[in-house]
Amino acid sequence: MTTFVLVPGAWHGPWAWDRLVPLLHAFGARTLTPDLATAGDRGLHDDARTVVAALDTVPEEEELVLVGHSYAGLVVREAADQRPDAVNHIVLVDGWAGPDGAGLFGLAPAALVDAARTAAGAFGDGRRIPAPPPAAFGVVDSDDAAWLAARLLPQPLRTFTERTRLTGAVDRIPGTAVHCTPQTYPFDRLGEAVGYRTHPLDGPHDVMLTRPEPLARLLMEASSFKKGKRRV
């Protein structure tokens, strides 16, 4: 059996995968959706520890595919680096990624960084970034936009400022970088830079909400590109 550990991006929770999970189950897969939206201040390393805890619950005999959307691309790579023998494949869905020491604010263009810092400075105690509108994620259908807007949460600033800690073990795990088209940021080049095969998918950044069927098929395909049976 294949288990997909699905990790949501910034401002999102496990609900981001609600339309995708039943499709993967229909293919015979199992899913886990760790919740990064814990109360209080937290950083990228806290999120990686949450994902590691989820990985540790997957039986050794199951094939494990670790999926990270957007910001969570950084999270899943740090988590996989700590459990390289547990993860058979990594999939980034429009995911940020980089080498040891990379963080979202180091990878993103200056305009995005400046906007996020300004928004955090004007919101509460300055430690959280308020959620942008659904259109920022490419969700424009009125019903989908209302559904998404009701669920988006502020994102801790520290998740964007902390830099990944990688030993290099993650580089032994094959990966796929799914990049949505038309692109908002160069997610294909980020994937290529860390050695992943790239695959375009027509749809917006939140493609798991708007086009879950083709994404589910891509994830099932990625599960066949695994490194082999995990070592005990």
> What is the span of the domain harbouring residue 201?
2-222
- 127 found inside a domain: yes
Q: What's the pLDDT score for residue 231?
A: 30
DSSP string, 30-94: EEE------SS---HHHHHHHHHHHHTTS-TTSEEEEEEETTHHHHHHHHHHH-TTT-SEEEEES
Assess if residue 201 is contained within a domain: yes
Looking at residue 229, what is its pLDDT? Answer: 38
* 24-28, 37-41, 163-167, 199-203, range with the lowest pLDDT: 37-41
The per-residue pLDDT for 230 is 36
pTM of the model: 0.95
Reported as a single tens digit per residue, the pLDDT across 210-230 is 999 999 999 999 887 654 433
Tens digits of residue pLDDT in 159-184:
999 999 999 999 999 999 999 999 99
Q: Is residue 132 part of a domain?
A: yes
Q: What is the CATH number of the domain that holds 64?
A: 3.40.50.1820
pLDDT at 85: 96
63 and 1 Cβ atoms separated by less than 8 Å:
yes
Q: Is residue 228 part of a domain?
A: no
Cα-Cα-Cα-Cα torsion 42, 114, 94, 60, nearest 10 degrees, comes to -20
Q: Over the stretch 72-112, which tens digit does the pLDDT of each residue have?
A: 999 999 999 999 999 999 999 999 999 999 999 999 999 99
152 pLDDT above the threshold of 60: yes
**What mean pLDDT is predicted for residues 121-133?**
94
More confident residue, 225 or 139: 139
Q: Flag whether 230 is in a domain.
A: no
Q: What is the pLDDT of residue 56?
A: 98
Residue 197: inside a domain, yes or no? yes
